[in-house]
Amino acid sequence: MSRPKKSKTPQTKAASKTAAKATPAEIAAEGSASTILFAAAALLALVGLGDSIYLTVEKLAGVLPQCSYGGCEEVLNGPYSTIGPVPVSALGVLAYFAAFSLATLAAFGKRKLGDLLFYLVALMLAVSIFLFILQAYVIGHFCQFCLISAAMTVLLALIVAAERFYFRRRQ
């Protein structure tokens, strides 16, 4: 995503300090970029949603995953796979669905919900980092489906951060 070009109108040093605001054309371009980014965020959230639904269903169905060379079952059967009776992946389902809903609404113009999405994704990122550390240092095994979810969250965070700090800073 390329950054919109700045106005070529010459500005004095004093004027440039006060004129942080963009021109209407720039605002329109940045608004369009935000829409695209929110739409991309919604698509990523959909992938994460599908991944967490799969993990949750497998857990709830109680089918014993075969142990293989990957070590996924160590993670999915381990003591950290649930919080009380609730699978951790079920929380992922809720989080991704909320992220999808917020991103969709933000893409359709409800820009204030983009702020809520930002905080939600920040929380999801924190949880993902925690779960990643848990897999790496405590459980000692990685689950590929959990890694897919973590990757989706990282990408979501990058997109939402880009939208907030880069494309929307002057609106």
For residue 20, state whether it binds another protein (rule: CB under 8 A). no
Binding span for another protein by CB under 8 A among 7-15, 18-26, 48-56, 156-164: 48-56
* 95 lines the binding site for another protein (CB under 8 A): no
Told to check if 67 binds another protein by CB under 8 A, we report yes
- What lies within 8 Å, CB to CB, of 51 at 6+ separation is 92, 145, 148, 149, 152
Exposure b/e, 45-61, CB count within 10 A at least 16 = b: bbbbbebbbebbebbee
* Closer CB to another protein, 108 or 119, in the complex: 108
Minimum gap (Å) between residue 114 Cβ and another protein: 13
Q: Does 115 bind another protein (CB under 8 A)?
A: no
> Hunting for tokens 């980092």 — which residue is that?
129
- Judged by CB under 8 A, how many residues of this single chain contact another protein? 34
Among 41, 48, 87, 100, interactor with another protein by CB under 8 A: 100
* Cα(159)–Cα(38) distance, integer angstroms: 8
Work out whether 162 is an interface residue with another protein (CB under 8 A): no
Q: Count CB-CB contacts under 10 A for residue 41.
A: 28
Is residue 28 at the binding interface for another protein, with CB under 8 A as the rule? no
> Is residue 170 a contact partner of residue 20, using CB atoms and an 8 Å limit?
yes
Residue 84: in which H helix or E strand, if any?
none
CB 37 within 8 A of CB 1: yes
Instruction: Select 12 or 69, whichever has its Cβ closest to another protein.
Output: 69
Q: Quick one: 49 or 131, whose CB is closer to another protein?
A: 49
Contacts with another protein, residue ranges (CB under 8 A): 46, 49-50, 53-54, 56-58, 60-71, 73-74, 77-78, 93, 97, 100-101, 104-105, 107-108, 110, 141
